[in-house]
Amino acid sequence: MNSTTYTVVTLGSHSALQILKGAHDEGFPTLAVTNRDTESLYRSFAFVDEVISIDHYAEFMNLVPILEDRKVIIVPHGSFVAYLSLEDHKEMRVPYFGNKAILDWEASRELQRQWLSRAGLNLPRQFKTGAEIDRPVIVKLYGAQGGKGYLFVRDAADFEDRVNILGERDYILQEYIIGVPLYIHYFYSPLTGKLEIMSMDRRYETNVDSLGRIPSRAQEGMDIEPSYVVVGNSPLSLRESMLAEAYRMGENVVRVSKEICPPKGLFGAFCIETIITPDSQFYIMEISARIVAGTNLFIDGSPYSYLNYSEPMSTGRRIAREIKNALLSNALGEVLDDASVI
């Protein structure tokens, strides 16, 4: 195996420690691209072989010509979509783990909805007009980020009363699903065609996760809008009788992804964000087409990854294992975006 000739590189944020530790454990040299604030943190870890520091993550594109001249593979995470545009992603020719064609389907709420509904998943109802609202609704402003910018509406009359807050902005009216959130982390191997459930988490979000701490009677008239700003994650194991459905949802999402982004579809790490109702139905809020930060709970492996690997297998390490297996079978192109120059 000549994995030592490729360096695994990622941005110093989000799940970079997990990705670089996993790459190191699989035998790859590692490179963290940091900013001035995070540089010393990443340098402090022995598994980070090299650090390149830039002023702002948004300047990552300036580094691309240097990376294109080296033998590196980018493993993207949530900060890439936060700091780089879709155009930036497509412009880079640096070997990139994943299929960039999926980014368009992920970025648009409409396309994502088409993808997930073609995969037969339950989605919250959407209403075209305020008058149609017949149940509690979450109003999602376009471009809302970081869990802020949502409005919670009780019924059509409540919407009518408050619609002026929204002004000229575009929004969607989505049924509010009352249940418990569960984020399921998957890995799909294009080399073996096998799907694995790697781990699961629930998010800890402020202020929504604290509203239950004030009796509803006391909340009346306080004019609190729920926000969903993530501050951390907790582990979860799913009732085993619900696991088959969780697995089936992942399989269906992958199957349809091959139809919408042929031939490779979605591969590598991904996550389905669900809310589970009292009748054990999974409703899908969103899909993330890459490693999510909730996997950071499982740098040492999860109960689920232990079923497939009798060694610590984080999602970050699983990605590096896939790259290594691809190199060993002379099939690196299978695990990289097609625009990658290798």
Residue with tokens 């869990």: 147
Q: Minimum Å distance from CB 130 to ligand AMP?
A: 16
Q: Minimum Å distance from CB 33 to ligand AMP?
A: 12
| Pair of tokens at residue 265 | 């579809």
8 A C-beta contact, residue 186 and residue 164: no
Q: Of the candidates 15, 13, 26, which has an alpha carbon nearest to the alpha carbon of residue 320? A: 26
8 A C-beta contact, residue 280 and residue 2: no
Residue 59 neighbours by CB distance under 10 Å = 12
**Counting contacts by CB under 6 A, is residue 297 touching ligand AMP?**
no
Identify residues 207-266 at the interface with ligand AMP (CB under 6 A).
Answer: 228, 230, 232-233
Q: Minimum Å distance from CB 263 to ligand AMP?
A: 29
Residues 32-71, mask of contacts with ligand AMP (x by CB under 6 A): ----------------------------------------
Q: Minimum Å distance from CB 208 to ligand AMP?
A: 7
8 A C-beta contact, residue 281 and residue 265: no
Q: In what order do the strands lie in the sheet with 180-188?
A: 228-235, 195-207, 180-188, 268-276, 282-288
**Count of chain residues binding ligand AMP (CB under 6 A):** 26
Q: Which of 79/99 has CB closer to ligand AMP?
A: 79
**Counting contacts by CB under 6 A, is residue 294 touching ligand AMP?**
yes
CA-atom Rg of the chain in angstroms: 21
Q: Which of 22, 29, 76, 181 binds ligand AMP (CB under 6 A)?
A: 181
Q: Minimum Å distance from CB 261 to ligand AMP?
A: 21
Q: Which of 37/240 has CB closer to ligand AMP?
A: 37
Q: Which of 47/176 has CB closer to ligand AMP?
A: 176
**Counting contacts by CB under 6 A, is residue 291 touching ligand AMP?**
no
Cα(249)–Cα(123) distance, integer angstroms: 12
Stretch touching ligand AMP by CB under 6 A, among 75-83, 127-135, 155-163, 215-223: 75-83
**Counting contacts by CB under 6 A, is residue 288 touching ligand AMP?**
no
Q: Minimum Å distance from CB 140 to ligand AMP?
A: 7
Please give the full DSSP string across 150-206, using - where no structure is assigned.
Answer: EEEE-SHHHHHHHGGGGTT--EEEEEPP-SEEEEEEEEE-TTT--EEEEEEEEEEEE
Q: Which of 176, 247, 306, 309 binds ligand AMP (CB under 6 A)?
A: 176
Q: Which of 39, 64, 78, 172 binds ligand AMP (CB under 6 A)?
A: 78
8 A C-beta contact, residue 156 and residue 287: no
Q: Minimum Å distance from CB 328 to ligand AMP?
A: 32
Cα(260)–Cα(250) distance, integer angstroms: 15
In terms of residues, how long is the chain?
A: 342
Q: Which of 19/326 has CB closer to ligand AMP?
A: 19
Identify residues 80-109 at the interface with ligand AMP (CB under 6 A).
Answer: 82
| Pair of tokens at residue 246 | 């969780």
Identify residues 144-173 at the interface with ligand AMP (CB under 6 A).
Answer: 146-147
8 A C-beta contact, residue 97 and residue 189: no
**Counting contacts by CB under 6 A, is residue 138 touching ligand AMP?**
yes
Q: Which of 11/327 has CB closer to ligand AMP?
A: 11
φ, ψ at 176 (rounded to 5°):
-90, 120
**Counting contacts by CB under 6 A, is residue 124 touching ligand AMP?**
yes
Segments in the chain forming alpha helices (H): 16-25, 39-43, 60-68, 78-83, 86-91, 101-107, 109-118, 156-162, 216-219, 243-260, 303-308, 315-328
Interaction site with ligand AMP (CB under 6 A)? 13-14, 78-79, 82, 124, 138, 146-147, 174-177, 181, 203, 205, 228, 230, 232-233, 273, 275, 285-286, 293-294
